[in-house]
Chains A and B, each alone.
Chain A
């Protein structure tokens, strides 16, 4: 089944403790992206990647890192999480950056930083 898999689904962590949220897609998509969703603010893009070893900042990149060493994987790294990073996170992928096809989203990761 074509899908984007995120792990974990839920995560509670403490301020400053480094964490990684994994994202993997099995559709051979070039484009992958991370979003955060907050009440009243909608979905905001954190980082995106047009292809392997190519990443770029979205609208809210501060406090996050990403890497794209392989086409299928696009992990989101929080080096020193803070409470304002408590949010619902989504990974998405698409061929050609969604220009001709829509995005496929993962099921989300609900992160709480205390």
Chain B
């Protein structure tokens, strides 16, 4: 069962620009997490935001959560070529297994 759905599926930007990815989900959550995956490698945890939080920052990452709209966004500021990867949101909900969305493929062009 897919809970989180990222949007867009793919995104290409120039180095230095900001990248925004969105995640929508269906049922109430305990927390929502964002992960990065470089091609064929393991996922790396980026940030966790709890259901009672609205915004979190970590370095060049900014995550927002709107529980009324059941959506979250991940903003990467001043993107670099090394940010090229797939980004996944994952939701933790009561009574459900931890569920990953299908991901957004980000390409940062030099």
Contact = CB atoms under 8 A, between A and B. Distances in A.
Contacts of A42: 2, 88, 100-103
B51 to A, nearest CB: 11
How many chain B residues sit at the interface, stated as a range, is: 20 to 34
Interface in A3-40: 4, 33, 35, 40
Contact of A59 (B97, B101, B103): B97
B42 A108 contact: yes
A45 B45 CA distance: 17
Contact of A43 (B1, B31, B46, B100): B100
A93 to B, nearest CB: 11
B45 A108 contact: no
Contacts of B99: 45
Categorize the interface residue count of chain A: 20 to 34
In terms of DSSP, what is the predominant structure of the interface of chain B?
strand
Nearest to A101: B48
Contacts, number: 59
B2 A105 contact: no
A42 B46 CA distance: 18
A40 B102 contact: yes
A43 B88 contact: yes
Contacts of B45: 102-104
B40 interface: yes
B41 interface: yes
Interface in B22-46: 30-31, 33, 35, 40-46
Nearest to B34: A102
A55 to B, nearest CB: 13
Interface of B: 1-2, 30-31, 33, 35, 40-46, 48, 88, 90, 92, 97-103
16 contacts: A4-B42, A33-B98, A41-B102, A42-B2, A42-B103, A43-B100, A45-B98, A48-B97, A97-B98, A100-B31, A102-B33, A105-B42, A107-B41, A107-B42, A108-B40, A110-B40
Interface of A: 4, 33, 35, 40-43, 45, 48, 58-59, 88, 90, 92, 97-108, 110
